[in-house]
Amino acid sequence: MTPSARPWRIRCLFRDQLAHIQPVEAALAGRAEFQYDADWDPAKITGDLVVCINEYHYDVIRCLDAARAAGIPTLTLQDGILEWRCQYDNPLFGAAPQHQPVLADKIACLGAQSARQIAAWGNAGKTEITGMPRLDQLLQRPRVPVRQPATRLLVMTAKNPGFTEAQREITITSLRDLKRYLDTRADLQVQWRVSKSVADSLGVANQLQEVATGELAAQVEQADAVISTLSTAMLEAMLLGRPVAALDYHNVPRFVPTAWTITAKEHIAPVVDEILRPPATKLTFQNDCLHDCLRLDGPAAPRVAALIEAMIARQPVNLPVPAKSAATIDPRLLRAENEIERLKAQLAERPVAKRLLTKLRRAAKK
């Protein structure tokens, strides 16, 4: 955009979930005017581009159709991981699963995994791998190594434990099995970050105050490992360097893999033990899964901004790829830090080694 040109007008079909679009607005500061539209009235659709977060609302579909008729490009932001029950067993979508097809001209995908899957659903040419703008703040967050010996466990659930009563009952059953086992582990400190209905069913003190990335990050950093039902929060915990186990009794296909999975109560004890003392091979696999599911080579907001610019200009999309991002957490360094903490804890348990460690610390301060 030239200095004399007017700012682009971006029509935002958002009533909530503003954390997905506000980082993009900041990235385009001075170049674009973001007009937030909570009415979703197709008669009011104007501007240079229309962006939405969910396409399944009938009024949003009508707005996208109106934009297409007016020659205005449209963009959908993927709002979370792909999850089988949400896609195919969600009464909200009926016979038309989400993203099948994508109704906007383009969809900004979390990572390569979701881009491949969404493209395979008849959306060739529509997927762009941008990352998730609302998670950009985690890239800038100072690393907090896992404490050793690891004894702190965080249990999390998705906002919605199930889309049908049968699904909710299965989820509650899995959490009851988990709680029953954890109640026998006096050596562990367990925190619960779950939906209110789940907390009431389990009778646990709930750490969830608000569904916000900052609050979640602070709670994950106070844990040494995480167990979660299928949720985007799994990726957030992985990004913060915690071993993550998926709690999933539903016996349906998985789009997002994890290094550890609990699909029956017999798996709980061995998985809990292992995520508190994770082998390097599984941590490496977890890192591979994370980078496939979430693009992390720099912040996502500038990439979405570049996508918007290309769409408005009707030009080919060439998203920026930084050669090296200082903000991206190096998983090798994080594993090394965690291993150092583990070895220090082991040394501290031995009298001779403890004295030697004390001398080494004193020498390091000189």
Q: What is the pLDDT of residue 344?
A: 62
pLDDT, residue 342, reads 61
Q: How far is CA 179 from CA 184, 193, 216, 272, 346, in A?
A: 9, 13, 21, 12, 29
Write down the pLDDT at residue 321: 63
pLDDT number for residue 325: 41
What's the token pair of residue 158? 């998705």
Residue closest to 178 by CA, chosen among 159, 165, 196, 192: 192
| Tens of each residue's pLDDT in the chain, 366 residues | 554 589 999 999 999 999 999 999 999 999 999 999 999 999 999 999 999 998 989 999 999 999 999 999 999 999 999 999 999 999 988 778 999 999 999 999 999 999 999 999 999 999 999 999 999 999 989 989 999 999 999 999 988 899 999 999 999 999 999 999 999 999 999 999 998 889 999 999 888 766 566 789 999 999 999 999 999 999 999 999 999 999 999 999 999 999 999 999 999 999 999 999 999 999 999 999 999 999 999 999 999 999 999 999 999 998 866 544 434 445 555 556 556 656 666 665 566 666 666 767 776 666
First to last CA, the chain: 56
DSSP β-ladder status, 8-13 and 32-36: parallel
Q: Are 24 and 308 in contact (CB under 8 A)?
A: yes
- The CATH number assigned to the domain with range 152-293 reads 3.40.50.2000
Q: In the CATH hierarchy, which fold is given to the domain comprising 8-132+297-313?
A: Rossmann fold (3.40.50)
pLDDT score for 318: 85
Q: Where are the domains of the chain?
A: 8-132+297-313, 152-293, 331-365
Same fold? 8-132+297-313, 152-293 = yes
Task: Give alpha helix (H) positions in the chain.
Answer: 22-27, 58-69, 84-88, 112-120, 136-139, 165-182, 196-202, 213-221, 233-239, 268-276, 280-293, 301-313, 331-348, 351-365
pLDDT value of residue 145: 93
